[in-house]
Structure 1
């Protein structure tokens, strides 16, 4: 791009010099043989060159001044500020006046839009987390007050209920930490056994390990054990809580170059158009009954993408649904 700008500046100044020389020659011819011919010719040529240089400088710096103003406003937190591309955008990249500045302006606008969207998502996440934390914390306060009043005569099941509330809080914090790691691209890869990974996920959510179905000969996967384990746990929790029970956790070869994990349930399946939306943050399906932030399947998709793969959801022909994700074999050992 800088070569194009150099060529345009060279052409503009060359044209200005030609005009100034031509005007000086014309003035010299008109007043010759007067002794003022040469001074007038030089003065006229210099005046034209000075005016042309000012015009060129204004044309080059005007969009840059606006760009500095936009960058300063964005730095001060005014994220809705954008560069007005105008003629810069209409003339195309790398061609015509302002081509390089148009590319830079578009990059600044894209950066500001992404930052604005990320902050909006964070505000929405914080609002949702605040709401979700109130419920288990409120339950804990009631249970603690009840236990304090009952003393040694406290019901035996109260401790179990307290434990469930603590586990719910721990799971929510775990989800948020996983989202934070993905946000900052902190994916720590190491060799993993995909079958062992699946079995641990089943045990983590209290499901029978016999529900695993292995249809792949892949022995190792290179990935982040915490993130992959969290994604598998989310699949299983989703099937159990919103799919009326887990039928099977399948590990199989997907499309060429993929290894896939999917949880199949016995629920009513997805409503029309729902499979395309379930991986968005804060989206809850028709079978959800509160107590969910809507981050589980969103995290599954983000983990899959971080491992070079994809996520999907679909209805099964015999009833129920299948929700899963794949990782690229390029990331496998």
Structure 2
């Protein structure tokens, strides 16, 4: 995503932070000014003690008194003046003695009477508003500069998420926020990217499904068209040779359409609705029915059935569960040769029932296992309709298992056969 100028959100957050800093600076300045005026470096008690002990001793010696006041000004930064009984200026540490003389004791400050008469006036330090404002401005500028990275760190992930969401809504399925922040914003960014990845995979899967269905339809439709053209030309003998293949094609097309429709119904219905609306299912009875259908459809193939006792009643759709077992058994028969038997076992586990279909066939290469449940994927890379099937059997089996809250896994090795394992959780009472 390209870098762009800061948006309104950035400036709202940034200016809000600057406003808060301004309020804090004004408050600190007000408190500091009040404390400065209220306490100063010298309390009134300290001024009285100083007047009683030191200033009173030197009241009769103006030069020494002036020197003492000067030392106090240099040491503590405070200016003071001593006025005689008549109000005249005796000594001062004010930088402008003429102004102190004209003030006649009326300058702002603390007034402390002396023992022998006269008055000590401790003047307030001069207040420079310009320096205070300059200090506040400098603090504000420093804080504003320092808060820029913080504001950017908060707003940048939000801006990236907004841009990615806008791109995703416009049809760019590859759009990602790529937020690397920590905390809640980072978690939000990662969740968005995961959602976008799932959405992209879903759309890509739907497109691949459409392309593969189109491919599967092309061959039988071409054969039917050829047979019709030959029949129209009067070549009945050649057209008759296509009838057997056309019948097989139509049967596989019917199976393909049924698989696609079942998968679409599962997606539309949803797993939660299936579990809520389902009925109690005796899995042992479903396995026995599946075994009977397998023996009828694959004459001469040996099937070992092991339906254990104590199986929990499942909640779901018996028809779909029979379809799941049929697909797994047909897949085992397809990738194993007689007289190798196929084994179907059903056993109980704590809070679940486990179904296993095992064959002793060609097995599955390790590199093919991650793609085994991809629509129209065949491990033998064959597109021949006699051995490849529709390529949706295992996909539909997985969707049925997941719709019942379960899972499906496979263990296989080339030349040693495969075992498909389905775990279906039992409903809680």
Q: Which residue of 1 aligns with 2:87?
A: none
Q: Which residue of 2 aligns with 1:321?
A: 417
Answer yes or no: is 1:203 the counterpart of 2:293.
Answer: yes
Q: Which residue of 2 aligns with 1:190?
A: 279
Q: Which residue of 1 aligns with 2:185?
A: 101
CA shift, 1:261, in A, is 3.2
Q: Which residue of 2 aligns with 1:312?
A: 410
Moved more, 221-230 or 270-279: 270-279
CA distance in structure 1 between the aligned counterparts of 2:127 and 2:383, rounded to whole angstroms: 100
Q: Which residue of 2 aligns with 1:290?
A: 384
CA distance in structure 2 between the aligned counterparts of 1:153 and 1:172, rounded to whole angstroms: 30
TM-score (norm 2): 0.57
The aligned runs of 1:116-135 (5 Å cut-off) are 116-135=200-219
Taking a change above 3 Å as real, the CA distance of residues 231 and 332 of structure 1, as seen in their structure-2 partners, is: farther
Provide the secondary structure at the position in 2 that maps to 1:325. strand
CA distance in structure 2 between the aligned counterparts of 1:27 and 1:78, rounded to whole angstroms: 60
CA distance in structure 1 between the aligned counterparts of 2:419 and 2:232, rounded to whole angstroms: 44
CA distance in structure 2 between the aligned counterparts of 1:54 and 1:271, rounded to whole angstroms: 59
CA distance in structure 2 between the aligned counterparts of 1:280 and 1:240, rounded to whole angstroms: 18
Answer yes or no: is 1:238 the counterpart of 2:293.
Answer: no
Contact kept in structure 2, 1:20 and 1:45, CA below 8 Å = no
CA distance in structure 2 between the aligned counterparts of 1:300 and 1:154, rounded to whole angstroms: 40
Contact kept in structure 2, 1:27 and 1:41, CA below 8 Å = no
Contact kept in structure 1, 2:312 and 2:426, CA below 8 Å = no
Q: Which residue of 1 aligns with 2:176?
A: 82
Moved more, 241-250 or 66-75: 241-250
Moved more, 163-172 or 135-144: 135-144
CA distance in structure 2 between the aligned counterparts of 1:156 and 1:195, rounded to whole angstroms: 45
**Residues 278-317 of structure 1: CA deviation (Å, up to 9, x unaligned):** 633143223856333533223323333333232324369x
Taking a change above 3 Å as real, the CA distance of residues 59 and 160 of structure 1, as seen in their structure-2 partners, is: closer
**Residues 112-168 of structure 1: CA deviation (Å, up to 9, x unaligned):** 122112222222222222111111222222334445555998987865543322210
CA shift, 1:76, in A, is 0.4
Provide the secondary structure at the position in 1 that maps to 2:366. coil
Taking a change above 3 Å as real, the CA distance of residues 227 and 278 of structure 1, as seen in their structure-2 partners, is: farther
The aligned runs of 1:41-52 (5 Å cut-off) are 44=137
CA distance in structure 2 between the aligned counterparts of 1:199 and 1:112, rounded to whole angstroms: 43
CA distance in structure 2 between the aligned counterparts of 1:163 and 1:114, rounded to whole angstroms: 39
Answer yes or no: is 1:302 the counterpart of 2:399.
Answer: yes
Unaligned runs of 5+ in 1: 1-9, 94-99
Contact kept in structure 2, 1:136 and 1:168, CA below 8 Å = no
**Residues 34-81 of structure 1: CA deviation (Å, up to 9, x unaligned):** 6x6699589959976995899576664443233222211111012222
CA distance in structure 1 between the aligned counterparts of 2:262 and 2:126, rounded to whole angstroms: 84
Q: Which structure has the greater CA radius of gyration?
A: 2
Answer yes or no: is 1:66 the counterpart of 2:160.
Answer: yes
CA distance in structure 1 between the aligned counterparts of 2:126 and 2:261, rounded to whole angstroms: 85
TM-score (norm 1): 0.71
